[in-house]
Structure 1
């Protein structure tokens, strides 16, 4: 029996790679002879680097960089030496997991640390950079990152600013001639499933600002700062990117990337991993697909990783089961998308903290239970009905 294991991360509990290991352990505990192919998935946010490193047989490189508030931390990026590819995600240095809830500070938070990682990758000899946008704790439009790469952001007196979310409204001029030549020479792949524009009711501030600490009474201030910044950049580049699909990703990071870089292509984070991991090819020869993520709800049906996996499986007529730490909402439409069933991994009453700490163990046990049920259905000959 051949099984494809392709879960997203169970955020706060286990990465997609760790989830793969947990499912595989459960399957093998039931029958060691089953062939299991693990393909961790992600959508451009947290877990993208680890997933792609696993798929591309790369390695993790650690660097000392700044977190969103300028504190020194160790963050990792992926490196594939054969193709000189660096895999970076904004969540590594500049992500929400770096801050406690009470530390969220959109005025001071910066993506400078992400720029430091990119700079380190360039020094290592990167010829291609895959940058995953997602999970950032910032609304600085990626200016901190580009400052680390040599761009100068000046106020109306010509003084260089230290960029963060609060400084956007003070930007009067930018200088891009100082940007690292290597930054312009490499090929960029931006991995993101966010399609929001930069501004407006569906923009970076309104939609994503609150999760980064923007309070309701400050929304207008941050929105006007972002709009002022966008006008300065568009005047400098002669390109209008504020309405570009995905320009609102990672607190407006997408906008600055689209505006200042040329050798750039944008790809859905899931589609990128699907392509590089040859998901369709692997699933076509499988008997069963197992996916999952921490929480599965109606939002999952709008294209998150597990539903992407299910759609592929449906086309090839392979049953697909999803595990979740929490199931919420009406999911009957999931079957139309290719999910045969959505199963919880919790097997007894416990607190959220206990569940997250026990995630890998719970997922392993749930996977073994699934195999027992699946085998029973196989004996009856109705697995694919």
Structure 2
């Protein structure tokens, strides 16, 4: 009997690898003879680097880069074993948790540190770079990232713009003379799990700006600055990202990378599944156990659980999801490809109480799922 365990993290409680370990305990209590395959998963956001490290045996690289408000921060990325590819998490260098709430500066926060991670990976030989863009502290359209790769952003008088999204209102042209050939030859993909465009009521500034400290007036200012940026990107590179689904991810970083680098946005969990070899792991599986902290409509529309369930169905294996809370109706669970879903809660508990006992609850629920399937 082959059981594949492929959950997301239970955010705030357990990373995906620890979720796998807890589930395996329950599986083995029910069937000590089971062949258990652990495939920790992520959706392209927090935890992706650890999943890639676990699955590929790559190398973690740590270095000091420029944080979102210019203070140096220590960040990391992952290189493949052969050095030809790299995975970079924007949040590691340019994420909102790196900024104290009282120092939020939505007009000046930038993504340069993420570009510094990418530049280091390319200098070391990477020719494929996956950028996971969740958790940004800025709304700079990714021009800080691009600046670190050699792009220059100039005002009418030829001076270089200041960093941050607010400065884009003065953008006149983009100069690429100093962009290394290695950057232009690199294939970029973006793990992106939102469909927001760059501009407008559903755009980067309107939807995500307030989370980064932007007042209503600053939201309008940033949206106008991003519009100017999108216009200049279109003039320079011939790519319109104004209304492109996903272009507003990470404060417009996705749109900037698509236009300037030819980056391809891909659903994050699908990229992670490909990178960790999930489809191959599911070959011959008799049961697949996945899960996340809360199973809801987002879970069914492009998150880890739905990606695992879809691949499990393709492999002909039943997929069971375990979650702290299951709020998705049964019909939608089945449409997402799940055979069944169970809450691990053993009675009424607060979120704080649940956080402290997630491991034993996961083990118990996994044991019951396996007994139900195999007796």
Q: Does TM, normalized by the shorter one, top 0.5?
A: yes
| Counterpart in the other structure of 1:370 | 365
Taking a change above 3 Å as real, the CA distance of residues 244 and 379 of structure 1, as seen in their structure-2 partners, is closer
Aligned equivalents of 2:61 and 2:298: distance in 1?
Answer: 33
Taking a change above 3 Å as real, the CA distance of residues 149 and 32 of structure 1, as seen in their structure-2 partners, is same
**1:149-168 alignment runs, 5 A limit:** 149-168=149-168
**SS of alignment partner, residue 298 of structure 2:** helix
Aligned equivalents of 2:193 and 2:278: distance in 1?
Answer: 18
The offset of 1:180, in angstroms, is: 2.8
* Cα RMSD for the two superposed structures: 2.5
Aligned equivalents of 1:248 and 1:307: distance in 2?
Answer: 23
**SS of alignment partner, residue 113 of structure 1:** helix
The reply to whether residue 78 of structure 1 matches residue 78 of structure 2 is yes
Deviations 1:278-308 (A, max 9, x none): 3233224112211112222222222211112
The reply to whether residue 292 of structure 1 matches residue 287 of structure 2 is no
| Counterpart in the other structure of 2:48 | 48
| Counterpart in the other structure of 1:281 | 280
Which structure 1 residue ranges, 5 or more long, are not aligned? 381-385
The offset of 1:355, in angstroms, is: 4.1
Taking a change above 3 Å as real, the CA distance of residues 81 and 374 of structure 1, as seen in their structure-2 partners, is closer
**1:299-378 alignment runs, 5 A limit:** 299-328=298-327, 330=329, 332-347=331-346, 351-353=350-352, 355-356=354-355, 358=356, 362-378=357-373
**SS of alignment partner, residue 369 of structure 1:** helix
Aligned equivalents of 1:99 and 1:347: distance in 2?
Answer: 37
Taking a change above 3 Å as real, the CA distance of residues 353 and 268 of structure 1, as seen in their structure-2 partners, is same
Larger displacement relative to structure 2 (203-212 or 342-351): 342-351
Taking a change above 3 Å as real, the CA distance of residues 154 and 30 of structure 1, as seen in their structure-2 partners, is same
The offset of 1:351, in angstroms, is: 4.8
The offset of 1:87, in angstroms, is: 0.9
| Counterpart in the other structure of 1:226 | 226
Q: Is the 8 A contact 1:24 1:364 kept in 2?
A: no
Aligned equivalents of 1:133 and 1:146: distance in 2?
Answer: 14
Aligned equivalents of 2:340 and 2:100: distance in 1?
Answer: 35
Task: Name the count of aligned residue pairs.
Answer: 375
The reply to whether residue 247 of structure 1 matches residue 242 of structure 2 is no
Which structure 2 residue ranges, 5 or more long, are not aligned? none
**1:32-111 alignment runs, 5 A limit:** 32-111=32-111
Q: Is the 8 A contact 1:154 1:160 kept in 2?
A: yes
| Counterpart in the other structure of 2:205 | 205
Q: Is the 8 A contact 1:27 1:367 kept in 2?
A: no
Aligned equivalents of 2:22 and 2:67: distance in 1?
Answer: 30
The offset of 1:257, in angstroms, is: 0.9
The offset of 1:332, in angstroms, is: 4.2
The offset of 1:23, in angstroms, is: 2.5
Q: Is the 8 A contact 2:269 2:307 kept in 1?
A: yes
Aligned equivalents of 2:249 and 2:279: distance in 1?
Answer: 27
Give the TM-score normalised by structure 1. 0.88
| Counterpart in the other structure of 2:141 | 141
**SS of alignment partner, residue 153 of structure 1:** strand
The reply to whether residue 269 of structure 1 matches residue 268 of structure 2 is yes
| Counterpart in the other structure of 2:179 | 179
Larger displacement relative to structure 2 (21-30 or 236-245): 21-30
Q: Is the 8 A contact 2:27 2:367 kept in 1?
A: no
